[in-house]
């Protein structure tokens, strides 16, 4: 017969295996599951972003792309720009062409996703991706 202490240890071990804490190693992931892989391509005075809306993304109600210039002087005013993007259906590719960019200047783009909230009147949002640097031609 197992002692109470042994039963607790066996229960914790069984729960750890069940939850995947112990057991076969899972493949390494570089990003959390909610992160989105964004590709970016430079164009004339523009950059085009593409990403696939995953089936696991949940009920995304909107996306917003933040245009973040990388050549910012110390006392410059905020130069961020926001572009709203309508989400495609799950499994489809979203495309956002961001124009009116300065040729030769580096930019990075932040992708923000909006989800409905079941506890407040406003949507919940989170940054789900950051692009690589894009330099418009």
DSSP class per residue in 74-111: TTPPP--EEEEE----TTSEEEEEE-SPPTT--EEEEE
User: Which DSSP category does 134 fall into?
Assistant: B
Of the candidate ranges 1-15, 24-38, 45-59, 89-103, the one whose mean pLDDT is the lowest = 24-38
Angstrom distance (rounded) from CA 30 to CA 106: 25
Among residues of the chain, what percentage have pLDDT more than 70? Answer: 74
CATH number 2.60.40.10 is the correct assignment for the domain at 30-130: yes
Kindly report, residue by residue over 27-71, the tens digit of the pLDDT.
Answer: 444 444 457 889 999 999 999 999 998 877 778 889 999 999 998
Residue 109 has pLDDT above 90, yes or no: yes
Q: Where are the alpha helices (DSSP H) in the chain?
A: 4-18
């Amino acid at each position: 017969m197992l002692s109470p202490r042994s039963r607790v240890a066996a229960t914790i071990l069984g729960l750890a295996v069940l939850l995947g804490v112990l057991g076969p190693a899972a493949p390494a992931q570089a990003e959390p599951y909610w992160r989105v892989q964004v590709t970016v391509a430079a164009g004339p005075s523009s950059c085009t972003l593409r990403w696939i809306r995953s089936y696991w993304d949940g009920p995304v109600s909107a996306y917003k792309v933040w245009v973040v210039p990388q050549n910012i002087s110390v006392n410059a005013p905020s130069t961020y720009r926001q572009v709203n993007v309508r989400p495609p259906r799950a499994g489809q590719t979203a495309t956002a062409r961001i124009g009116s960019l300065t040729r030769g200047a580096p930019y990075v783009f932040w992708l923000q996703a909006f989800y409905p909230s079941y506890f407040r009147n406003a949507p919940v949002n989170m940054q789900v991706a950051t692009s690589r640097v894009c330099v418009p031609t």
